[in-house]
Amino acid sequence: MNLKRVVVTGLGALTPLGNSVNDYWNGLIQGVSGAGLITRFDASKFKTQFACEVKDFDPLTILDRKEARKLDLFSQFGLASAIQAVEESGIVTAKNFNPDRVGVIWGSGIGGLRTFIDETSAYATGDGTPRFNPFFIPKMIVDIAAGHISMRYGLRGPNYATVSACASSTNAIIDSLMLIRLGKADVIVTGGSEAAVNEAGIGGFNAMHALSERNDSPKTASRPFDKDRDGFVLGEGSGAIILEELEHALARGATIYAELVGGGMSADAHHLTAPHPEGLGALNVMKNVLDDAGMKPEEIDYINVHGTSTPLGDISEVKAISGVFGDHAFNLNISSTKSMTGHLLGAAGVIEAIASVLAVKNDMVPPTINHFTDDDSFDKRYNFTFNKAQQRTVNAALSNTFGFGGHNASVIFRKFK
């Protein structure tokens, strides 16, 4: 079967580094940390009292007050980034726009956690009378963000959510790629959103000993590949990518950022939360994405790694990179943008995919900040792009995301030719 080619024609971002794609990218290149003490609730009694929060977001810039009350924060975030991407792409005003052929596939690992906390807490502290908000369920369910995006623009193509923990939005991107390749849609608005900086989110991850507890220095807490890394920093936000069939994009004169040439998936089949110690799932997913793209390891210039800043996770991922890329691993630029954004859980994949697209477009690799002490577990020949962005030709970038439960997903973006 002759598979169709798929290109990126629009981007949107709402992140701890800024509420637009330009602000996000500039923050990455400048090595800015989005971390700070938590403002969304009183975290003084929690082991971790900081996170990477979205700043200065006002849902009333995209929704009226009545409608805003019907959306959990994760859906508000998602709608905001999707609006940016759709409007930048010009897809809904194009002459060849057919709403029946435009879909929305959106990822979130948790969905409306804030809504769930508020509604169940009100019931638990009340007199036992069940007084639940009629929008409780529609605000909470993970698929609802995709629904809101489709209703905003009347998009009647494929519409659903992907849920695979921290790989959720990468799986959404891969599903979108597959459907467009097969001719099931012309355009798909894809990405993900997450809003888990709240009592349950911080408390739950603290109970797992997953988060950094460096409360005295939040901005330096996310330290991927550093000897003294002690866990990830929770982030929040959203990202959106417009994926479009190549001929459809060319017919309307769309601006093309890059081509999405491959998607790979695998499972660790090992542990609820810990990575495979030898990085077997990560190794397999990178082999799979290279195979899907029809590319050799030597054709990759940059890997945006999962790189969460956990003691075990960083080691297993580098083992996997070594197993796939051999000596070429030392020619790669490797970086973890989570050192700046924190870990956006289900939205991590898409904002890191956006960073990869922009690295290809701009021939610039964002850094891994907060490197202070070498870890002897890593060969010193690896280029982790520590502390400063690096200019280089980036013909192709690979982006990894790995989720609790052993879900692995990777994508490759390449310069459009």
| Burial of 25 per CB tally in 10 Å (0-12, 13-18, 19+) | buried
**What is the pTM (predicted TM-score) of this model?**
0.98
Q: Give DSSP secondary structure letters for 78-90.
A: HHHHHHHHHHHHT
**pLDDT tens for the 417 residues of the chain, in order:** 799 999 999 999 999 999 999 999 999 999 999 999 999 999 999 999 999 999 999 999 999 999 999 999 999 999 999 999 999 999 999 999 999 999 999 999 999 999 999 999 999 999 999 999 999 999 999 999 999 999 999 999 999 999 999 999 999 999 999 999 999 999 999 999 999 999 999 999 999 999 999 999 999 999 999 999 999 999 999 999 999 999 999 999 999 999 999 999 999 999 988 888 889 999 999 999 999 999 999 999 999 999 999 999 999 999 999 999 999 999 999 999 999 999 999 999 999 999 999 999 999 999 999 999 999 999 999 999 999 999 999 999 999 999 999 999 999 999 999
The secondary element (H helix, E strand) that includes residue 171 is helix 168-181
How many angstroms separate the CA atoms of 42 and 39, rounded?
7
C-alpha angle with apex 363: 78 to 88, nearest 5 degrees? 35
Residues in CB range of 320: below 8 A, 6 or more apart? 278, 279, 280, 281, 282, 283, 286
Active site residues: 166, 306, 343
- At residue 185, the pLDDT reads 98
How many angstroms separate the CA atoms of 316 and 131, rounded?
48
How many angstroms separate the CA atoms of 158 and 181, rounded?
14
Q: Which two tokens stand for residue 246?
A: 């190549």
